[in-house]
Amino acid sequence: MPESSPVFKRILVANRGEIASRLIRACHAAGAEAVAVYSEADADAPYVGQADAAVAIGPGAPAESYLNFDAVLGAARSSGAEAVHPGYGFLSENPDFAEACESGGLTWVGPPPSAMRAMADKVDARRLVHAAGVPVVPGTEGPVTPEQAHEAAAELNFPLMVKAAKGGGGIGMTVVRDHDQLGAAVETAAARAGAAFGDPSVYLERYVERPRHIEVQVMGEADGSVFHLFERECSVQRRHQKVIEETPSLALDQATRDALCQAAVRAAEAVGYRSAGTVEFIFGGGEFYFLEMNTRLQVEHPITEETTGTDLALAQLRIAAGEPSGIDAVRRHGHAIEFRIYAEDPVRFLPSPGLIETWVEPGGDGIRVDSGVAAGYRVTHLYDPLLAKLIVSAGDRDTAIDRAIRALEEFQVAGVKNNIPTHLEVLASTEFRSGDYDTGLLEVLGERRKMAVR
């Protein structure tokens, strides 16, 4: 039985893997049928069979399938879908695709295209949120050339971070500690940004030493009001990509937490935000600064769901239908940690495609697995190597960590290399156990591992 009155009859899930499975469950909870799309490489993927209908949209290459406007919109039309939920990645933050859905008579399950555009350019977003009273890291007011970067550095002072004006995922980000490195860093970052995002623009920000990466989950109602669902600590990263997330963050006292969450709400209000979104901050020296806003559902949203007793994907569907989210009087209980399970070498962090021979998920109290694979599934090099997310929750952090260790040890994966050993290494570290860690934790543990084998 649906958990609410139907908001739509049929919804197209414009994604793949574990997030497609997650959204299919949300569609069913909303009383709607779910339509999956799949490439040739995903024909046998578990999510395809979980949907009420499935439409093939092209070859395995993302540009010819999941990123193909015509193919995805054609699937929506041919299946009789009324709405499109993009999940995260692929077309989820593409305002042109959102507008194409709306102009084609489909409901876009996400924020207004205008809000997506406002937050897409990081330089413009900095200006916008700063005007709304949100702290930003000192930096340049716009993109810089190598020559302009030297002039700006004289005022900003080193160390500095060179960042792509558009895009994300850490692509184009470089830390620079002196003038000798700056010109080459700007040129290299611009080349990487141009190749990845089609725009070589880069800008400078002062680099915060030993930073923590903390984000706030926000939700914009259909009536224009915005509220938050507290913060998530996302500082366990490799190459600027999140690996482990937890909530609450041990870095914040209550006054700072309140200020951080209210700043996130102001940032969302400044662009007339609707639906689920995340405002990301850098935190160091007792101060927080705006990084960017992700105008979509985040990979790590389950830990917020587990500690607040909410269904963020279902709330998105309700809001898209013009209804209240159904989330009232948000309260947070206990502690939750998410572990991203990747098909990758746990030491070199390189993807490990291949056939999954064994896949046995852990279970028990406080254990949730959002999975996109099963035994017999072949992992391809075409897509992100994320296989599943292990979400562990408990009444307190120590219990959650102990529970996570047991769950990770019970998780059986064979046929492809995976990063479960990395997660266990983090949980065993004194830094993570104490909560006194930052975005450089994995590098520290890597150096410690090298020293141990010398």
Q: Is the pTM of this model over 0.85?
A: yes
Indicate the residue among 165, 182, 206 that finishes a domain.
206
CATH of the domain at 166: 3.30.1490.20
Same domain for 239 and 180: no
Structural domain contains residue 132:
no
Indicate the residue among 159, 185, 206 that finishes a domain.
206
In this predicted model, what pLDDT tens digit does every residue of 225-263 receive, in sequence order? 999 999 999 999 998 889 999 999 999 999 999 999 999
**The 275-284 sheet, strands edge to edge:** 287-294, 275-284, 212-220, 226-238, 241-247, 335-342, 386-394, 367-371
Indicate the residue among 206, 224, 257 that finishes a domain.
206
Same domain for 224 and 195: no
Which of the pair, 412 or 137, is modelled with greater confidence?
A: 412
Distance CA 132, CA 268 (A): 10
Same domain for 244 and 183: no
pLDDT reading at 381 higher than 90: yes
Structural domain contains residue 184:
yes
pLDDT reading at 1 higher than 50: no
Same domain for 226 and 100: no
Is residue 257 among the annotated active site residues? no
Same domain for 181 and 72: no
Number of domains in the chain: 3
Same domain for 309 and 252: yes
Same domain for 411 and 325: yes
If you average pLDDT over residues 262-289, what whole number do you get? 97
In this predicted model, what pLDDT tens digit does every residue of 338-379 receive, in sequence order? 999 999 998 888 899 999 999 999 999 999 999 999 999 999
Q: What residues make up the domain containing 361?
A: 212-453
pLDDT > 90: percent of the chain: 87
Average pLDDT value over all residues in the chain: 95
- Written as six digits, the tokens of 285 are 């020296």
Same domain for 446 and 418: yes
**In 10 A of CB 222, how many CB atoms?**
15
Structural domain contains residue 88:
yes
Distance CA 334, CA 281 (A): 23
Q: Say which of 10, 257, 296, 318 is annotated catalytic.
A: 296
Distance CA 446, CA 312 (A): 35
